[in-house]
Structure 1
Amino acid sequence: MSRRTTVLACLVSSILLTVATAAPAAAATPASEWDYVALGDSYSSGVGAPGQSGTCLRSPNAYPGLWNAANHPATYRSVACSGATTGSLRSSQLSALNQGTDLVTVTIGGNDVGFASTIITCTLSSDSGCAAKVDEALEMLEDEMPATFDATYREIRGKAPNARVVVLGYPILFDETAPSCGFAGMSIPKRKSINKGAAELNKVIKARSQAAGFIWSDVTDEFAGHGICGPSAWLHGLTLIPPTDSFHPTSNGYKYGYLPALNSVLP
């Protein structure tokens, strides 16, 4: 073998070795052998779906439970919790992770920028008051959240160094074309303001999760045409019983929105 051929062979071997060692452990084994942990807020715990229980309002009909039922991983645990922020995730959920964790999924960030208070303000105030509240959240998103996401993702990676980590975004909540949105429904200007905020939040989450080396899964395509006020909504509008379901996915939203978005980025 010539010196040139030997050098080329060594280079190819080195590249293959690097790729093999850099790939998440989950990629080398079938899903039935994975240890799966679901982290996050109400969009991961399953608020809005049937079967919610406990103080965290976890449901087996959330996308993590649906994925578990379809794929039968070796182990599955959801520690996602309604109302979770990046801070509470880091303090109370990361203990579920370890070096053997193969798959992690997470939705987080909406509560950090005031999802609930923004919805309440927009429901009760004028169009301009809603827009001002959304702009306030966007200022925080720009100034504070990139560093907060970076720190959160570093801690997830530190606790689960070998895992495939999938970060899922949030749906665009409202149909913007329907002239009426039901009792106490949002005006079209309010809907546009809230949708703008969700789109900007997704942009930041996407950028920071990809910078961390995680897998980003956008759910906006899956939920397109199924916003609140639309003819085929996969999200609850203002709900009185239980009120916590308000502005969260329905069972169809988890089954036909979030679950396909997760499946689309997994082998």
Structure 2
Amino acid sequence: MRRAASSTSPGIPLGVPPAVVLSGLLAILLTGCSDPPAPRIERNEGARAGSAYVALGDSYAAGPRLGPSTGPVGCEQTSGNYAHRLAERLDLELTDVTCGGATTEHLTGSQTPPNGAPVPPQLDALSADTDIVTIGIGGNDGKVFSELVTACVGAATKDRAGAPCTAEGTAFRAKAERQVGRLPTRMGEALEAIRERAPEATVFVVGYPHLFPEEGTCELLPLARGDYPYARDLVDRVNDALSAAADQAGATYVDVAAATDGHDICSTDPWIAGLVPAEAGLEYHPYAKEQEVVTELLVDELR
């Protein structure tokens, strides 16, 4: 509790030179005139039942083939994704606008999924009443992830031992470098836009899982042997960009890669589907176990 101000002036302490007093007063005045710090995304404590939760993101957030469809045609959004699991666990009011193929451009611009009608910009789902936001996006920018498991896999049929897709000077590598270089700025702008539309929300940036093995190859991921190292590094750099943007904005980064280490496509217990899924899931996308793990990470953060 603040005490009432004394009606008697305390005066200048004995023995303190006037120059020192004047210097202190100037410092206080200058401090009061300095520019205020840039606003940051608020981190609210806990999650109340009934809190308004908006999920943003691409297919790794949408959870393709993990349950009944819950989104627009072509978005591959299902009830098995981490957004629906989290909303059920904590009794949240969910608005899920995740959509397969989404890029950072689709946060502020419309998207037309395959065989579907245009869907509104994802950020349109936000409002001043939004309490919680999760966003998992960025890997699709420039179609980098999709080309890695399509064009690069195709290139491997002609050169199994080399690096036909990711060697210096290749078109794919040049594109990937451009996109990764731009990602921190794009995500920073996205998080600023989220803050403007949902100023009271707690925001979580959800990273990508551990997709590729630390060493070796496998038939479920038929890249050329020499393309594996760059593919591993690329996902790490995308996650680093997302983490840096989250830190700069004051959002919370959810390190999914660390939580899924050892469960890549080529592991003995994969949580990511390969070329031929062994259970419900879309090729090169998360199985239900990975979405469960992301849910637990978010529950821990919110509690």
TM-score bracket, normalised by the shorter chain, equals 0.7 to 0.9
Q: 1:226 aligns with which of 252, 263, 272?
A: 263
Q: Do the aligned partners of 1:178 and 1:230 also contact (CA within 8 Å) in 2?
A: no
User: Take 2:231 and 2:257, find their aligned partners in 1: how far apart are those partners?
Assistant: 14
Alignment pair present for 1:60 and 2:79? yes
Q: Match for residue 300 of structure 2? A: 264
Q: Secondary structure at the match of 2:74?
A: coil
Q: Match for residue 88 of structure 2? A: 69
Alignment pair present for 1:129 and 2:164? yes
Q: Do the aligned partners of 1:24 and 1:164 also contact (CA within 8 Å) in 2?
A: yes
- Partner amino acid, structure 2, of 1:193: Y
Give the CA deviation at 1:48.
4.5
| Greater CA drift, 75-84 or 129-138 | 129-138
Deviations 1:132-166 (A, max 9, x none): 36632442135422222222111111111110000
Q: Do the aligned partners of 2:210 and 2:257 also contact (CA within 8 Å) in 1?
A: yes
| Greater CA drift, 229-238 or 141-150 | 141-150
Q: Match for residue 51 of structure 2? A: 34
Give the CA deviation at 1:167.
0.3
Q: 2:147 aligns with which of 105, 117, 123?
A: 117
User: Take 2:221 and 2:265, find their aligned partners in 1: how far apart are those partners?
Assistant: 13
User: Take 1:34 and 1:157, find their aligned partners in 2: how far apart are those partners?
Assistant: 17
Q: Match for residue 170 of structure 1? A: 208
Deviations 1:48-74 (A, max 9, x none): 52334532111111111111111111x
- Partner amino acid, structure 1, of 2:272: L
Alignment pair present for 1:106 and 2:135? yes
Q: Secondary structure at the match of 2:54?
A: strand
Tell me, which stretches of 5 or more residues in structure 1 are unaligned? 4-20
1:69-218 alignment, distance < 5 Å = 69-73=88-92, 75-91=93-109, 92-113=121-142, 114-125=144-155, 126=159, 127-132=162-167, 135-177=173-215, 179=217, 181-182=218-219, 185-218=222-255
User: Take 2:134 and 2:254, find their aligned partners in 1: how far apart are those partners?
Assistant: 10
User: Take 2:40 and 2:135, find their aligned partners in 1: how far apart are those partners?
Assistant: 22
Q: Match for residue 49 of structure 1? A: 66
Give the CA deviation at 1:265.
2.3
Deviations 1:29-54 (A, max 9, x none): 64313110101111111125233453
Q: Do the aligned partners of 1:103 and 1:164 also contact (CA within 8 Å) in 2?
A: yes
User: Take 2:220 and 2:265, find their aligned partners in 1: how far apart are those partners?
Assistant: 12
User: Take 1:248 and 1:206, find their aligned partners in 2: how far apart are those partners?
Assistant: 21
Give the CA deviation at 1:170.
0.5
Give the CA deviation at 1:245.
1.1
Q: Percent identity?
A: 28
Higher helix share: 1
Q: Do the aligned partners of 2:42 and 2:250 also contact (CA within 8 Å) in 1?
A: no
- Partner amino acid, structure 2, of 1:217: V
Aligned length: 248
User: Take 1:197 and 1:140, find their aligned partners in 2: how far apart are those partners?
Assistant: 12
Give the CA deviation at 1:192.
2.4
Q: Do the aligned partners of 1:36 and 1:104 also contact (CA within 8 Å) in 2?
A: yes
User: Take 2:277 and 2:43, find their aligned partners in 1: how far apart are those partners?
Assistant: 45
User: Take 1:240 and 1:221, find their aligned partners in 2: how far apart are those partners?
Assistant: 23
User: Take 1:30 and 1:168, find their aligned partners in 2: how far apart are those partners?
Assistant: 17
